Each structure stands twice: as C-alpha cells, then as structure tokens.
Amino acid sequence: MPPLVLVLNGPNLNLLGTREPATYGHETLAEVAALCGRSAEQLGLKIEFRQTNHEGELLDWIHGARARCAGIVINPAAWTHTSVAIRDALVASEVPVIEVHLSNVHAREAFRHHSFVSPIAKAVLAGFGSQGYHLALEHFSHLFRGPAQ
C-alpha cells in the first residue's frame, strides 16, 4: 500500500483563484487538489487533501494523522503566524511535516515573517505557488523510498 500523506490547508484557501490573485495566483483550491492528486499518483503516494477555516477541525485532522499517515504537507495560511496549538499538534503527531506557502511570506508584511511551524518542519517551501505542493510530495516520495541503491 502506498504511503499516505495528509495535505492540509488552513483558512481562506477555499477562496483561491478569486482572493488576491496577484499574491496567490489564479488557480482554485480544486485545481491545487487535482495537481496534488496527479503528483501523488506519479510518485507512488496516496493523499488526503483537506481545507478548513476552523482551527479545531485542523487540530483534529493532525491528531488523527498519528500512526496513520507517513507525512503531512501543511499550508497553515494565517495560522502559520499565530497558532502554537497547530505547532504543538504537529509535534505530537510524530509525523514528518513539510510547510508550504503559495506566496513568498518573507517578501510580505513583517508579521508574516515568523512561523510557529517552520522550526519543527523537515522543509519549508514558500513562493513556488502550487508547485510547492508538488515539491513537498516529491520530497516525501524520496524520503519514504530511502537511499538510492
């Protein structure tokens, strides 16, 4: 059975394609989900792709990943900069995490420069648009395969 990767998306990402397209691009969340599905299939992974505007729901999904998922790709969106609870849940899950952001958060407002997730993540991808999700899944694919033989 292919390794399962949970792809989680935080608040306002349901508005992709219409919310600030100059910053976040024109792709919809459904298009990002389809890209992730194609990437996972090509890489020999299985994914569950989810989005929520409710922090408690995201926490429940992270808790559920423990001992069930091989990895978590997360775009915590605004919670990146505010939620110790999400950081703590990711640590408690004992699952490797890759943090993804569509925009380059370091080239934006100063309050977006701090992440509670980055210090506990295996990798951080910012500014690659939806390609960041593919790169995260590709990294997990290499990680799960182990060293080349």
For residue 46, the domain's CATH number is 3.40.50.9100
Q: Is 9 annotated as a binding residue?
A: no
Q: Strands 71-75 and 46-51, how do they pair?
A: unpaired
Cβ neighbours of residue 80 under 8 Å, at least 6 residues apart? 10, 99, 101, 105, 112, 115, 116, 117
Q: Give the residue numbers marked as catalytic.
A: 24, 101
pLDDT category, 52, cuts 50, 70, 90?
A: very high
Q: Please indicate if the annotation marks 112 as binding a ligand.
A: yes
pLDDT value at position 26?
A: 84
Across the chain, mean pLDDT equals 93
The count of domains in the chain is 1
The pTM is what? Answer: 0.93
Residue 148's pLDDT is 53
Report whether pLDDT(114) > 60.
Answer: yes
What is the average pLDDT across 59-81?
96
The pLDDT score that the predictor gives to residue 147 is: 60
- Say whether 81 counts as a known binding-site residue: yes
Q: What is the pLDDT of residue 119?
A: 97
Distance CA 132, CA 13 (A): 15
Tell me whether residue 103 is annotated as binding. yes
Q: Report whether pLDDT(113) > 60.
A: yes
Give the range of the structural domain holding residue 15, as residue numbers without chain letter: 4-145
